Structure 1
Amino acid sequence: MSTQVLPEKGSQIVRQHYPNYKVIVLNDDVNTFEHVARCLVQYIPCMTPDRAWELTNQVHYEGQAVVWVGPQEPAELYHEQLKRAGLTMAPLEAA
């Protein structure tokens, strides 16, 4: 009696994308609207003054706003820059 060995299905490479991360500014009683909006324009790429004001209002009225979403390394940079500027930041979180 002979045994036939069938080849196993080949390993299939599944590409997994790196997760994006959310940079979230929290409301506080320390920073002014002007300071928050100015920091967003200064540190977040392509942030317009109008969008910065929208997000600043969201921070104030809703308690937080996601100000940027993207790869981990730039998210860490923007998070740290905003934190150093005195903004109250939520921990980075995967999107």
Structure 2
Amino acid sequence: MDILTEILEQEDVLLMEETTDVRELVVYNDDVNTFEHVINALVQVCRHTQEQAEQCTMLIHYKGKCTVKLGTFSELEIMCTAIHDRGISADIV
């Protein structure tokens, strides 16, 4: 096996590892937080557009939960903590 083949195989393995570690940040409905508060949190924490945050908030309200962001655990952990700090229920799944 030549060195180029070995490097390409290592890159393929790394790429597979990165793509299989994709998690979901899920926000749950509650009877406490207002639509405006949840929308603002999604815009500030998850960098959603206003429209995207409004749509997610509607899904949270009517479906009970919504996946608001995809990423690695370490990326989502920071966002999940920031959402918790705003009094909103969320988990990484």
**TM-score under structure 1 normalisation?**
0.78
The 5 Å alignment of 1:39-54 reads 39-45=41-47, 47-54=48-55
Counterpart position of 2:76:
75
Shift of 1:71: 1.4
1:61 counterpart residue number: 62
5+ long unaligned stretches in structure 2 = 1-8
Q: Of residues 38, 60, 63 in structure 2, which corresponds to 1:36?
A: 38
Please identify runs of 4+ aligned residues in structure 1 that moved more than 3 A: none
SS, match of residue 17 in structure 2: coil
Question: C-alpha root-mean-square deviation of aligned residues, in Å?
Answer: 1.4
- How far apart in 2 are the matches of 1:44 and 1:92? 13
C-alpha distance after superposition, 1:38-93 (max 9, x if no partner): 00001003x1001100000000000000000011111100011001111011x311
Equivalent position amino acid for 2:17 in 1: H
What corresponds to 2:5 in structure 1? none
In the alignment, residue 79 of structure 2 is paired with which amino acid?
Y
Q: How many residues in Structure 1 have an aligned counterpart in Structure 2?
A: 80
Percent same amino acid among aligned pairs?
30
Q: TM-score, normalised by structure 2?
A: 0.79
| Structure 1 match to 2:89 | 88
* Higher share of residues assigned helix: 2
The runs of 5 or more residues in structure 1 that have no matched partner are 1-11
